[in-house]
Amino acid sequence: MVIPTYNEALTIGKAIDRTRTSVPDAHILVVDDASPDGTGAIADELAELDDHVHVLHRGGKEGLGAAYVAGFGWGLSRDYAILVEMDADGSHQPEELPRLLHAAENADLVIGSRYVPGGRTVNWPYKRQAISRIGNTYTRLALGTALRDATGGFRAFRASALRELDIESVASQGYCFQVDLAWRAVRGGLRVIEVPITFVEREQGESKMDGRIVREALWRVTHWGAVHRARQLRALLGGSRR
């Protein structure tokens, strides 16, 4: 379980405890970006008491995508079979992990989805929910993918899939990082499935979402979509000439 943190001192302990209870055999890697509030130190203390908890300290705040890439690299180098993305703020319910892990037995990537039947959000501000829904609709239209929640950040990857996705070349952050990996998986012919989850608005701490992340996602998805459609058009024209 790869859990990136930046100023999550109020929630990291509970997130780890709930995860250990839900999936006792799982190992947890906290990837901390030198949180000023001492999150990394708290994680270190928990790791000293539990050999299933590990901490990867980074030099500063470098973004969600870079944190996950570092965490995945750590896990792949130690031959873990499945690597999971999960927030530390309580938005992702650790009690739903068994469902994701069970689904991963027959898939390369499992996305915990808010927008498939059975999925839902709880106490999420209307503005945030609107941005998410519009972003996912735009992603489906631009990329021609059937995924309902390409921006969702609660997901499980098989290690073999991550090795195919060339994660070291991923430069995207935030929403866009999630779209990037899902889009790579779809283009690569990997089996991607969505399972319903309940996404709960955090009760403590502050969201890391900002306008820069939204703008990056819009630009990158538009670019990827244009390239994808151009390739489709070239293939169509090439086939018609024959």
Query: What's the confidence (pLDDT) of residue 173?
Result: 74
Average pLDDT rounded to a whole number, residues 97-124: 96
| 224 vs 16 pLDDT, higher one | 16
Q: Where are the alpha helices (DSSP H) in 144-173?
A: 159-164
| 211 vs 205 pLDDT, higher one | 211
Taking only the tens place, the pLDDT of each residue in 42-95 is: 999 999 999 999 999 999 988 899 999 999 999 999 999 999 999 999 999 999
Residue 206 has pLDDT above 70, yes or no: no
Give domain 2-241's CATH superfamily.
Spore Coat Polysaccharide Biosynthesis Protein SpsA; Chain A (3.90.550.10)
| 91 vs 235 pLDDT, higher one | 91
Through-space distance between the first and last CA atoms of the chain, rounded to whole angstroms: 50
Residue 224 has pLDDT above 90, yes or no: no
Which bin fits 166, alpha (ψ -120 to 50), beta or left (φ > 0)?
left
What rounded mean pLDDT belongs to the chain?
Answer: 92
Taking only the tens place, the pLDDT of each residue in 17-42 is: 999 999 999 999 999 999 999 999 99
Measured between alpha carbons, how far is 142 from 228 in angstroms, rounded to an integer? 9
Measured between alpha carbons, how far is 16 from 96 in angstroms, rounded to an integer? 14
Provide the strand spans (E) within 77-154. Answer: 82-85, 109-113, 120-122
Average pLDDT rounded to a whole number, residues 225-233: 84
Containing 34, the helix (H) or strand (E) segment is none
Average pLDDT rounded to a whole number, residues 178-183: 94
Q: Would you place residue 210 in the very low, low, confident or very high pLDDT band (cuts 50, 70, 90)?
A: low
Q: How many beta carbons lie within 10 A of that of residue 210, not counting itself? A: 9
Structure tokens at 78: 């130690």
* DSSP classification of residue 55: E
Q: Would you place residue 238 in the very low, low, confident or very high pLDDT band (cuts 50, 70, 90)?
A: confident
Average pLDDT rounded to a whole number, residues 195-213: 77
Amino acid symbol at 47: A
- Nearest-5° Cα angle at 95, 86 to 77: 40
Sign (positive/negative) of CA torsion 89, 119, 188, 75?
positive
Domain limits of the chain? 2-241
Q: Would you place residue 229 in the very low, low, confident or very high pLDDT band (cuts 50, 70, 90)?
A: confident
Query: What's the confidence (pLDDT) of residue 171?
Result: 77
By C-alpha distance, which of 86, 103, 97, 90 is closest to 2?
86
CB proximity list for 16: less than 8 A, separation 6 or greater: 3, 28, 30, 43, 46, 50, 53
Measured between alpha carbons, how far is 123 from 87 in angstroms, rounded to an integer? 17
- DSSP assignment of 84-111 equals EE--SSSSS-GGGHHHHHHHGGG-SEEE
